[in-house]
């Protein structure tokens, strides 16, 4: 199943008037903060760039206003970027239980995380093989039920290989800040995998915090490369389905 597509909506507005009144209602904010009134009395020249991106929601506002106040020209600028919180799914095998439980607590206390789904395993005595856990998590992301997934095993390698078997998923193993950054900004990877036997817990916690702060830019040069990855996947998956007599996953 292909992942839900992201949509971009943008608006460019020029203002040239003697009196400007704007009433903006932002439904992404609490009820007592939703309405914002912008009023400028006197000759006003301005320009506003506004864009919205879905899945997850992002809003970017850049506004420049020039007006005359008491005979003096006044120029003001305003910039705002709003990200919605993300839904995350977390999973591990018996070799990653300790880290998974610690990282879940961090996610629960992070305002950037709206919800967390734990697909197991619950304890180190549960010997469910990592491919089953990784695929379960990846399927939630691919179907749009979660935005991202965090997977832990001994090395972070097996869960990444397994998650990548789900069409539409881009899973990476990353144990340093630069790799985590590029996983999102260059590759639009939805799944981060780490190894409990490879990286220290404090570094793992820091990397997850950094990971939550990155968003892929659909207008970047990397977007075409990601689309090329997906096109190869579509072609190869279609060929595999035909070989198996139409039986997809």
> Quick one: 71 and 116 in the same domain?
no
Domain count for the chain, please give it: 2
> Quick one: 102 and 57 in the same domain?
no
> Would 14 be classed as within a structural domain?
no
- Name the 3-class secondary structure at 134: helix
| Strand-strand pairing, 58-69 and 35-53 | antiparallel
Query: Of 61, 84, 107, which residue is a domain's last?
Result: 84
**Full residue range of the structural domain in which residue 217 is found:** 86-221
Question: Which residue carries 């899973």 as its tokens?
Answer: 171
> Would 21 be classed as within a structural domain?
no
Residue 139: per-residue pLDDT: 98
Q: Which of 109, 113, 169 is nearest to 137 (CA)?
A: 169
- Let me know: does 158 contact 195? Beta carbons within 8 Å: no
> Quick one: 118 and 79 in the same domain?
no
pLDDT one digit per residue (tens) for the chain, 249 residues: 444 555 667 777 787 777 767 676 765 556 666 677 767 666 777 777 777 666 555 667 777 777 666 667 666 666 555 556 789 999 999 999 999 999 999 999 998 898 999 999 999 999 999 999 999 999 999 999 999 999 999 999 999 999 999 999 999 999 999 999 999 999 999 999 999 999 999 999 999 999 998 889 888 899 999 999 999 999 988 877 677 776 554
Q: Is position 249 annotated as part of the catalytic site?
A: no
> Quick one: 56 and 100 in the same domain?
no
> Quick one: 67 and 139 in the same domain?
no
CATH number at residue 123: 3.40.1400.10
Contacts for 93 with CB less than 8 Å, ≥ 6 apart? 121, 128, 129, 130, 133, 152, 153, 154, 158, 159
Q: What would the pLDDT profile of 101-137 be if each residue is shown by its tens digit?
A: 999 999 999 988 989 999 999 999 999 999 999 999 9
> Would 6 be classed as within a structural domain?
no
Residue 115 CB coordination number (10 Å): 14
Instruction: Find the helix or strand (DSSP H, E) in which 117 lies.
Output: strand 113-118
């Amino acid at each position: 199943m292909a992942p839900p597509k992201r949509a971009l909506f943008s608006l460019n507005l020029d203002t040239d008037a003697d009196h400007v009144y704007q009433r903006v209602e932002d439904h992404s904010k609490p009820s007592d903060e939703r309405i914002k009134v912008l009023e400028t009395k006197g000759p006003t020249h301005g320009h506003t760039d506004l864009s919205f991106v879905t899945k997850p929601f992002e809003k970017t506002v850049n506004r420049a206003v020039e007006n005359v106040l008491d005979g003096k020209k006044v120029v003001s600028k305003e910039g705002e970027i709003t990200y919605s919180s993300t839904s995350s799914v977390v999973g591990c095998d018996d070799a990653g239980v300790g880290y998974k439980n610690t990282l879940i607590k961090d996610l629960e206390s992070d305002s950037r995380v709206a919800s967390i789904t734990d697909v197991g395993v619950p304890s180190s005595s549960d010997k469910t093989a990592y491919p089953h856990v990784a695929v379960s998590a990846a399927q939630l992301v691919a179907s749009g039920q979660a935005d991202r997934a965090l997977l832990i095993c001994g090395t972070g390698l097996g869960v990444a290989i397994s998650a990548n078997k789900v069409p539409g998923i881009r899973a990476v193993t990353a144990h340093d800040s630069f790799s985590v950054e590029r996983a999102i900004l260059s590759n639009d990877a939805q799944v981060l995998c780490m190894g409990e036997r490879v990286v220290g817990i404090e570094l793992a916690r820091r990397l997850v915090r950094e990971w939550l702060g990155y968003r892929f830019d659909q207008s970047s040069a990397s977007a075409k490369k990601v689309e090329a990855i997906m096109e190869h996947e579509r072609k190869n998956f279609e060929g595999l389905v035909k070989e198996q007599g139409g039986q997809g996953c």
